[in-house]
């Protein structure tokens, strides 16, 4: 699934709102954007600069077109998302 800049902004804002409410972010985002690969890990596991930094997580764009996923800064190549979580967020 190709992502538009608008999709990325909506996903980021929705994810931050969900985290603020205490809900689990992955189930909500996956329901809203079926078919989009979305994963998460601790922020300390990611050394790349985030595409967008937030209070609850940093957003990294993923290129999932090959067998091995890779972080990308190119929004036109983004086909998935990585949420690098801060602290104890659900």
Mean pLDDT by 10 residues, the chain (90 residues): 87 96 94 94 96 97 92 92 85
13: containing domain: 5-85
Total tally of structural domains belonging to the chain: 1
Token pair of 63 as six digits: 């290129």
Domain contains 73: yes
Q: What pLDDT is stored for residue 28 in this prediction?
A: 96
To which H or E segment does residue 85 belong?
Answer: strand 80-85
Domain contains 78: yes
Domain contains 90: no
Domain contains 36: yes
Domain contains 79: yes
Q: What is the pTM of this model?
A: 0.91
């Amino acid at each position: 699934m190709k992502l538009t800049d608008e999709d990325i902004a909506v996903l980021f804002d929705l994810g931050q709102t969900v985290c603020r409410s205490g809900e689990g972010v992955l189930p909500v985002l996956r329901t809203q954007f079926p078919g989009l690969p979305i994963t998460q890990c601790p922020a300390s596991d990611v050394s790349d600069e985030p595409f967008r930094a937030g209070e609850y997580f940093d957003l990294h764009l993923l290129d999932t077109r090959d067998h091995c996923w890779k972080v990308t800064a190119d929004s036109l190549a983004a086909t998935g998302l990585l949420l690098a979580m801060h602290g104890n967020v659900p």
